[in-house]
């Protein structure tokens, strides 16, 4: 089955946003941690998909920019594993992660994806 790469990535973006909403509305620390862990797992898989399927279609400088954004997000995710949910540093890191990912998603969906050729496809 063939699926448009942009459609696949946008669907993953919506899944990530849904998990972020779960993080932000969690009623307990355990629920928030579970949503964060799920978001980190989905983000890691999404990054791998973009790097494997999207980046080869980009000019080298743009692929490097995207990779640098991914490294910044990966760093925030790794740093979130260190403090617990009641550490003040946790809130700062969590807010930074949510903002960085949301900015990255917006940039991809409004600037990058519209410029991709229609021929970019992925086989599943």
On whether residue 122 sits in a domain, the answer given is no
- Copy the structure tokens of residue 90: 């946790």
Task: Give dist(CA 79, CA 35) in Å, integer.
Answer: 16
Q: What's the half-sphere exposure (Cβ side, CA atoms, 13 Å) at 27?
A: 0
* pLDDT per residue as tens digits for the range 67-96: 999 999 999 999 888 767 677 888 899 999
Place of tokens 């949503």: 35
Q: 0.85 cut: is pTM over it?
A: yes
Say whether pLDDT at 123 is over 60.
no
CATH number of the domain that residue 34 is part of: 1.20.120.520
Ordered alpha helix ranges (H), 5-87: 5-25, 29-49, 60-80
**Could you list the residue range(s) of the whole structural domain that residue 66 is in?**
2-117
Identify which of 74, 99, 76, 80 has the alpha carbon closest to the alpha carbon of residue 33.
Answer: 80
On whether residue 123 sits in a domain, the answer given is no
Q: In total, how many domains does the chain have?
A: 1
On whether residue 124 sits in a domain, the answer given is no
Place of tokens 């600037």: 111
């Amino acid at each position: 089955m063939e699926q448009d790469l942009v459609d696949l990535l946008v669907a993953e973006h919506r899944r990530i946003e849904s998990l972020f909403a779960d993080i932000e509305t969690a009623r307990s620390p355990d629920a928030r941690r579970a949503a964060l862990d799920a978001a980190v797992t989905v983000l890691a898989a999404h990054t791998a998909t973009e790097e494997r399927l999207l980046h080869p279609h980009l000019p080298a400088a743009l692929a490097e920019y995207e990779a640098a954004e991914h490294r910044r997000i990966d760093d925030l995710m790794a740093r979130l594993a260190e403090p617990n949910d009641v550490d003040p540093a946790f809130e700062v890191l969590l807010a930074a992660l949510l903002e960085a990912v949301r900015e990255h998603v917006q940039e991809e969906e409004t600037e990058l994806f519209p410029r991709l050729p229609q021929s970019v496809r992925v086989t599943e």
